[in-house]
């Protein structure tokens, strides 16, 4: 059952959009009665094992390379608490609230499978924090795939550390007092379940998917404005031609550009002025379309992970007939590869955008005034914004190097192949931030280039795009401070609602 106000995890499959609704837009998160029953069933199995004294990894043994050390029932609560405290050793800048919330939401989704053996009160504690706006302060660095980020979230449940609450960073104990919540006492298996699995990389990748789809649509809108300004040859958008390269993404982008440029007298008037455009103009359907296809694949991978049980060990069966299975479901290879694939894709989206905006400002190829200003020489115009974008593209190139192919050995050879999935997701978010700014600069330049053509001759969609940016950023007649205008343009591109309102035909 899904709505914008509430996400209820039940027997339906969960999708990345559900996590985004909770993490980014503040939807409440709840579990159905049947899901709570599954959580309680696995916890009963754990309690039965503790009472019987049977040896089972992670329930009454040490962790990692200490998996053969047996523990008594009296030591198990201490083990869980110590696990959370010792694993909460992340470093670096604090994650933004929405990123931490996405991780917490993905963790709850994992526990909802009823295969972890975690106590009900721990899951309820996570739900209370999410639904009451208590967000742990989680350092961004230190994960090879899991462990540290969730450990810092677990520390919050113990009433330790600081949280973001009502716009301020305060102590966890003060936030709990304000919301009449109590710190949680952990039991057998709770500590391991809190730090285990793939919720960190998966939650972050859900947010990234929301951004990638938004940026891919804006890229089509902005590239159409550049196509208009550079008097592109529409043969490159011919549906019969594009069907001869029958990728789904190519067809979608071709449709989008034809829709945006529909009715352009400017393009009709300049049809045939040269044989073909540069590839950054001519190959928009092929490049943007390839990005769309890779994002679709990545979304499938992330959704599959969300609907997986990623704890170790997994608790299967019933209290009367059970298995405790040590395996490798916490290994996040699929999500790591998906995040790396998205990194490459979005870096390409930014790369071709930089090539288009370079053509817009370069008088050797644009047919427009140098640097898009009416008095070049006395004015530098849009010269240096291209330097900025070149710098961001260079960063993206470094960030798009796959993380998943890197590998280190941890836990005294016990964990000797790691996904680096959280690293992959975090660098993807950096690429998305950079690409948002790259497209924002192309938007500025394309809009300025259209000042030198008759607006009444533009296509319906490209005219809307030009009018939209002109509502907040005026035309550029002489040099002025550009940094705030890049931020304004960037803010437009962050707004999903503007896409829906102004470009409803864009797929």
Return the percent helix, strand and coil in the chain, to nearest 5.
60, 10, 35
User: What are the counts of helices (DSSP H) followed by strands (DSSP E) for the chain?
Assistant: 21, 9
Q: Could you tell me which CATH number the domain at 205-502 has? A: 1.20.200.10
Omega of the bond prior to 53 within 30 degrees of 0, cis? no
Q: Tell the CATH topology of 6-196.
A: Fumarase C; Chain B, domain 1 (1.10.275)
Query: Do 496 and 259 form a contact (C-beta atoms < 8 A)?
Result: no
Three-state DSSP at 403 gives coil
**Domain boundaries, given as residue ranges, for the chain:** 6-196, 205-502
Q: The tokens of 277 are what?
A: 């455009």
Name the one residue in this structure whose structure tokens are 């941890």: 410
| Cα 146 to Cα 199: distance, rounded to the nearest angstrom | 8
| Cα 140 to Cα 426: distance, rounded to the nearest angstrom | 8
User: How does pLDDT run along the chain (507 residues), one tens digit per residue?
Assistant: 455 689 999 989 999 999 999 999 999 999 999 999 999 999 999 999 888 877 777 787 766 666 667 777 678 888 889 889 988 888 999 999 999 999 999 999 999 999 999 999 999 999 999 999 999 999 988 777 677 899 999 999 999 999 999 999 999 999 999 999 999 999 988 999 999 889 999 999 999 999 999 999 999 999 999 999 999 999 999 999 999 999 999 999 999 999 999 999 999 998 888 888 899 999 999 999 999 999 999 999 999 999 999 998 999 999 999 998 888 888 888 999 999 999 999 999 999 999 999 999 888 787 887 767 777 766 777 778 888 999 999 999 999 988 778 777 666 556 666 667 888 899 999 999 999 999 999 999 999 999 888 889 999 999 999 999 999 998 888 778 888 999 999 999 998 888 888 888 888
Query: Do 41 and 120 form a contact (C-beta atoms < 8 A)?
Result: no
| Cα 192 to Cα 18: distance, rounded to the nearest angstrom | 26
CB-based contacts of 52, cutoff 8 Å, min separation 6: none
| Cα 75 to Cα 136: distance, rounded to the nearest angstrom | 27
Overall residue count recorded for the chain in this entry: 507
| Cα 149 to Cα 81: distance, rounded to the nearest angstrom | 15
Using CA atoms, how far residue 252 sits from 278, 409, 507, in Å, is 21, 43, 7
Query: Do 105 and 98 form a contact (C-beta atoms < 8 A)?
Result: no
| Cα 360 to Cα 280: distance, rounded to the nearest angstrom | 11
Rg (CA), the chain: 26
Give DSSP secondary structure letters for 410-462: BTTTTB-----HHHHHHHHHHHHHHHHHHHHHHHHHHHHHGGGS-GGGS-HHH
| Cα 351 to Cα 291: distance, rounded to the nearest angstrom | 12
| Cα 32 to Cα 34: distance, rounded to the nearest angstrom | 5
Query: Do 124 and 45 form a contact (C-beta atoms < 8 A)?
Result: no
The helix (run of H) or strand (run of E) holding residue 30 is strand 28-31
């Amino acid at each position: 059952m899904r709505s914008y106000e509430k996400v209820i995890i039940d027997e339906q499959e969960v999708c990345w959009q559900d996590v985004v609704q909770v993490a980014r837009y503040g939807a409440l998160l709840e579990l159905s009665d049947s899901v709570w029953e599954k959580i309680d069933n696995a916890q009963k199995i754990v309690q039965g094992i503790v009472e019987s004294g049977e040896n089972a990894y992670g329930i009454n043994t040490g962790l990692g390379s200490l998996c053969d050390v047996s523990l008594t029932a009296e030591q198990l609560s201490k083990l869980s608490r110590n696990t959370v405290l010792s694993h909460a050793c992340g470093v670096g800048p604090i994650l933004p609230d929405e990123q931490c919330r996405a991780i917490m939401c993905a963790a709850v989704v994992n526990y909802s499978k009823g295969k972890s053996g975690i106590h009900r009160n721990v899951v309820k504690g996570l739900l209370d924090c999410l639904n009451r706006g208590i967000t742990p302060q989680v350092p961004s660095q230190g994960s090879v795939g899991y462990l540290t980020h969730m450990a810092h979230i677990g520390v919050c449940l113990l009433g330790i550390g600081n949280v973001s609450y009502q716009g301020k960073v305060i102590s966890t104990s003060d936030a709990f007092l304000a919301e009449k919540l109590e710190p949680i006492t952990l039991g057998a298996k709770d500590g391991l379940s809190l730090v285990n699995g793939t919720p960190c990389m998966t939650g972050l990748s859900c947010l990234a998917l929301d951004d990638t789809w938004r940026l891919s649509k804006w890229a089509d809108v902005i590239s159409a404005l550049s196509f208009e300004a550079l008097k592109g040859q529409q043969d490159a958008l011919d549906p019969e031609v594009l069907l001869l390269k029958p990728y789904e993404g190519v067809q979608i982008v071709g449709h989008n550009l034809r829709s945006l440029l529909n009715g352009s007298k400017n393009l009709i008037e300049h049809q045939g002025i040269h044989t073909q455009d540069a590839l950054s103009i001519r190959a928009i359907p092929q490049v943007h379309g390839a990005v769309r296809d890779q994002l679709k694949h990545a979304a499938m991978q992330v959704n599959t992970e969300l609907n997986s049980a990623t704890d170790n060990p997994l608790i299967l069966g019933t209290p009367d007939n059970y298995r405790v299975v040590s395996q490798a479901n916490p290994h996040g290879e699929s999500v790591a590869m998906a995040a790396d694939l998205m990194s490459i894709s979005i870096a390409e989206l930014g790369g071709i955008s930089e090539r288009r905006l370079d053509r817009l400002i370069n008088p050797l190829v644009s047919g427009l005034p140098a640097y898009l200003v009416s008095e070049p020489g006395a004015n530098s115009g849009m010269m240096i914004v291209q330097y900025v974008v070149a710098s961001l593209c260079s960063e993206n190139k470094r960030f798009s190097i796959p993380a998943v192919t890197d590998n280190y050995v941890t836990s005294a050879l016990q964990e000797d192949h790691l996904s680096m999935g959280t690293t992959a997701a975090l660098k993807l978010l950096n690429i998305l931030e950079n690409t948002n700014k790259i497209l924002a600069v192309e938007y500025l330049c394309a809009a300025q280039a259209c000042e030198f053509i008759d607006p009444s001759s533009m296509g319906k969609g490209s005219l809307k795009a030009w009018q939209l940016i002109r509502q907040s950023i005026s035309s550029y007649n002489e040099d002025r401070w550009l940094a705030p205008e890049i931020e304004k343009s960037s803010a437009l591109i962050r707004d999903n609602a503007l896409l829906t309102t102004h470009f409803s035909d864009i797929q």
